[in-house]
Protein backbone atom coordinates (compact mmCIF):
# COMPACT_ATOMS: atom_id res chain seq x y z
CA UNK A 1 0.00 0.00 0.00
CA UNK A 2 2.84 2.40 0.78
CA UNK A 3 4.27 1.81 -2.72
CA UNK A 4 1.00 2.97 -4.33
CA UNK A 5 0.96 6.13 -2.26
CA UNK A 6 4.59 6.90 -3.13
CA UNK A 7 4.01 6.45 -6.86
CA UNK A 8 1.62 9.41 -7.36
CA UNK A 9 3.68 11.58 -5.02
CA UNK A 10 6.80 10.68 -7.01
CA UNK A 11 5.11 11.70 -10.26
CA UNK A 12 3.93 14.96 -8.72
CA UNK A 13 7.43 15.63 -7.43
CA UNK A 14 8.86 14.90 -10.86
CA UNK A 15 6.37 17.28 -12.51
CA UNK A 16 7.09 19.99 -9.95
CA UNK A 17 10.82 19.50 -10.42
CA UNK A 18 10.47 19.76 -14.21
CA UNK A 19 8.32 22.87 -13.80
CA UNK A 20 10.98 24.44 -11.55
CA UNK A 21 13.66 23.74 -14.16
CA UNK A 22 11.55 25.28 -16.93
CA UNK A 23 10.82 28.33 -14.77
CA UNK A 24 14.51 28.74 -13.96
CA UNK A 25 15.46 28.53 -17.64
CA UNK A 26 12.75 31.04 -18.54
CA UNK A 27 13.92 33.52 -15.91
CA UNK A 28 17.58 33.08 -16.85
CA UNK A 29 16.78 33.37 -20.56
CA UNK A 30 14.78 36.53 -19.98
CA UNK A 31 17.42 38.12 -17.79
CA UNK A 32 20.20 37.33 -20.25
CA UNK A 33 18.17 38.89 -23.06
CA UNK A 34 17.12 41.86 -20.96
CA UNK A 35 20.64 42.69 -19.78
CA UNK A 36 22.81 42.83 -22.87
CA UNK A 37 26.50 42.96 -22.23
CA UNK A 38 28.36 46.12 -23.16
CA UNK A 39 31.50 45.64 -25.21
CA UNK A 40 34.69 46.22 -23.22
CA UNK A 41 36.44 49.58 -23.32
CA UNK A 42 39.52 48.50 -25.28
CA UNK A 43 42.00 50.07 -27.65
CA UNK A 44 43.20 48.18 -30.70
CA UNK A 45 46.74 48.65 -32.01
CA UNK A 46 46.78 48.22 -35.75
CA UNK A 47 49.71 46.70 -37.61
CA UNK A 48 50.99 50.17 -38.46
CA UNK A 49 50.93 51.16 -34.75
CA UNK A 50 47.83 53.34 -34.99
CA UNK A 51 45.60 53.08 -31.91
CA UNK A 52 41.83 52.89 -32.24
CA UNK A 53 39.50 52.88 -29.24
CA UNK A 54 36.39 50.74 -29.57
CA UNK A 55 34.33 53.48 -27.91
CA UNK A 56 35.30 55.79 -30.81
CA UNK A 57 33.46 53.41 -33.16
CA UNK A 58 30.12 54.01 -31.42
CA UNK A 59 27.42 54.82 -33.93
CA UNK A 60 28.69 52.03 -36.18
CA UNK A 61 28.06 48.31 -36.08
CA UNK A 62 31.40 46.67 -35.35
CA UNK A 63 32.60 43.13 -35.90
CA UNK A 64 35.60 42.02 -33.83
CA UNK A 65 37.06 38.77 -35.12
CA UNK A 66 39.69 36.90 -33.08
CA UNK A 67 41.73 34.75 -35.44
CA UNK A 68 45.14 33.24 -36.14
CA UNK A 69 47.08 32.47 -39.31
CA UNK A 70 47.58 28.92 -37.98
CA UNK A 71 43.81 28.38 -37.62
CA UNK A 72 42.48 26.59 -40.69
CA UNK A 73 38.88 27.62 -39.96
CA UNK A 74 39.98 31.26 -39.60
CA UNK A 75 41.84 31.19 -42.89
CA UNK A 76 38.93 29.37 -44.53
CA UNK A 77 36.33 31.92 -43.39
CA UNK A 78 38.46 34.99 -44.14
CA UNK A 79 37.30 35.42 -47.77
CA UNK A 80 33.68 35.45 -46.52
CA UNK A 81 34.62 37.92 -43.78
CA UNK A 82 36.15 40.16 -46.46
CA UNK A 83 33.02 39.83 -48.61
CA UNK A 84 30.79 40.60 -45.59
CA UNK A 85 32.84 43.70 -44.75
CA UNK A 86 32.80 44.89 -48.37
CA UNK A 87 29.04 44.35 -48.58
CA UNK A 88 28.21 46.40 -45.46
CA UNK A 89 31.07 48.89 -44.96
CA UNK A 90 29.30 51.68 -46.83
CA UNK A 91 26.25 51.20 -44.60
CA UNK A 92 28.19 51.71 -41.35
CA UNK A 93 29.95 48.40 -40.61
CA UNK A 94 33.43 48.53 -39.14
CA UNK A 95 35.60 45.45 -38.68
CA UNK A 96 38.68 44.65 -36.63
CA UNK A 97 40.51 41.34 -37.06
CA UNK A 98 42.49 40.67 -33.88
CA UNK A 99 45.41 38.27 -34.25
CA UNK A 100 45.89 36.04 -31.22
CA UNK A 101 48.96 36.46 -29.02
CA UNK A 102 50.57 33.23 -30.22
CA UNK A 103 50.39 34.32 -33.85
CA UNK A 104 53.83 35.60 -34.95
CA UNK A 105 53.46 39.25 -36.03
CA UNK A 106 55.41 38.66 -39.25
CA UNK A 107 52.91 35.91 -40.22
CA UNK A 108 50.03 38.32 -39.58
CA UNK A 109 51.73 41.07 -41.59
CA UNK A 110 52.40 38.69 -44.48
CA UNK A 111 48.86 37.27 -44.48
CA UNK A 112 47.31 40.74 -44.32
CA UNK A 113 49.47 42.03 -47.17
CA UNK A 114 49.16 39.03 -49.48
CA UNK A 115 45.36 38.75 -48.99
CA UNK A 116 44.92 42.54 -49.09
CA UNK A 117 42.62 42.51 -46.08
CA UNK A 118 40.48 45.66 -46.41
CA UNK A 119 39.67 46.10 -42.71
CA UNK A 120 41.63 46.93 -39.58
CA UNK A 121 44.00 44.22 -38.36
CA UNK A 122 45.31 44.42 -34.79
CA UNK A 123 47.81 42.46 -32.75
CA UNK A 124 47.11 41.26 -29.20
CA UNK A 125 50.59 40.22 -27.96
CA UNK A 126 49.67 40.24 -24.26
CA UNK A 127 46.13 38.79 -24.57
CA UNK A 128 44.70 42.08 -23.30
CA UNK A 129 41.95 42.16 -25.93
CA UNK A 130 41.18 38.42 -25.74
CA UNK A 131 40.86 38.66 -21.96
CA UNK A 132 38.71 41.79 -22.10
CA UNK A 133 36.25 40.00 -24.39
CA UNK A 134 35.77 37.14 -21.92
CA UNK A 135 39.03 35.23 -22.12
CA UNK A 136 38.76 34.27 -25.78
CA UNK A 137 40.75 31.08 -26.33
CA UNK A 138 39.09 29.48 -29.35
CA UNK A 139 39.50 30.80 -32.86
CA UNK A 140 37.72 32.03 -34.73
CA UNK A 141 35.54 33.93 -32.28
CA UNK A 142 33.59 36.86 -33.66
CA UNK A 143 31.61 39.51 -31.81
CA UNK A 144 28.96 41.68 -33.42
CA UNK A 145 28.61 44.95 -31.53
CA UNK A 146 25.66 47.27 -32.01
CA UNK A 147 25.79 51.00 -32.62
CA UNK A 148 25.21 51.60 -28.90
CA UNK A 149 28.19 49.44 -27.86
CA UNK A 150 26.27 46.36 -26.75
CA UNK A 151 27.34 42.90 -27.83
CA UNK A 152 24.59 41.59 -30.09
CA UNK A 153 26.09 38.16 -30.76
CA UNK A 154 29.17 36.06 -30.12
CA UNK A 155 30.06 33.43 -32.70
CA UNK A 156 32.52 30.71 -31.72
CA UNK A 157 33.67 28.99 -34.88
CA UNK A 158 32.70 29.99 -38.39
CA UNK A 159 29.34 31.78 -38.37
CA UNK A 160 26.44 30.83 -40.57
CA UNK A 161 26.89 33.74 -42.94
CA UNK A 162 23.19 34.00 -43.91
CA UNK A 163 22.34 34.40 -40.20
CA UNK A 164 25.22 36.86 -39.70
CA UNK A 165 24.08 38.95 -42.67
CA UNK A 166 20.49 39.01 -41.34
CA UNK A 167 21.80 40.22 -37.96
CA UNK A 168 23.93 42.90 -39.66
CA UNK A 169 20.98 44.06 -41.78
CA UNK A 170 18.87 44.48 -38.65
CA UNK A 171 21.65 46.16 -36.62
CA UNK A 172 22.58 48.56 -39.42
CA UNK A 173 18.94 49.54 -39.95
CA UNK A 174 18.47 50.36 -36.25
Task: Dump pLDDT digits (tens) for 72-81.
Answer: 999 999 999 9
Q: Are residues 88 and 159 in the same domain?
A: yes
Q: Are residues 14 and 98 in the same domain?
A: no
Q: With a cut of 50, say whether residue 33 has pLDDT above it.
A: no
Q: Are residues 91 and 132 in the same domain?
A: yes
pLDDT of residue 36: 75
Q: Are residues 16 and 50 in the same domain?
A: no
Write out pLDDT tens, residues 38-50. Answer: 999 999 999 999 9
Strand 61-67's sheet: what is its strand order?
A: 51-53, 43-46, 120-123, 93-99, 61-67, 141-145, 151-156
**Number of structural domains, the chain?**
2
Residue 50: CATH number of its domain: 3.40.30.10
Q: With a cut of 60, say whether residue 137 has pLDDT above it.
A: yes
Q: Are residues 87 and 27 in the same domain?
A: no
pLDDT of residue 29: 39
Q: Are residues 53 and 29 in the same domain?
A: no
More confident residue, 7 or 63: 63
If you average pLDDT over residues 24-34, what whole number do you get? 39
Q: With a cut of 60, say whether residue 14 has pLDDT above it.
A: no
Residue 123 near residue 99, CB atoms below 8 Å:
yes
Distance CA 81, CA 158 (A): 10
Domain region containing 24: 1-35
Q: Are residues 104 and 130 in the same domain?
A: yes
Distance CA 124, CA 102 (A): 9
Q: Are residues 5 and 84 in the same domain?
A: no
Q: Are residues 8 and 61 in the same domain?
A: no
**Which of helix, strand or coil describes residue 46?**
strand
Amino acid sequence: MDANIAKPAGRLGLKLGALAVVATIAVFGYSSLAARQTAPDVTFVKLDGEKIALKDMRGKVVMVNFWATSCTTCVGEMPQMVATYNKYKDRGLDFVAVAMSYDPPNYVLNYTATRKLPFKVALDPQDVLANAFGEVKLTPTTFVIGKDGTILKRYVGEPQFAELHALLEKALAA
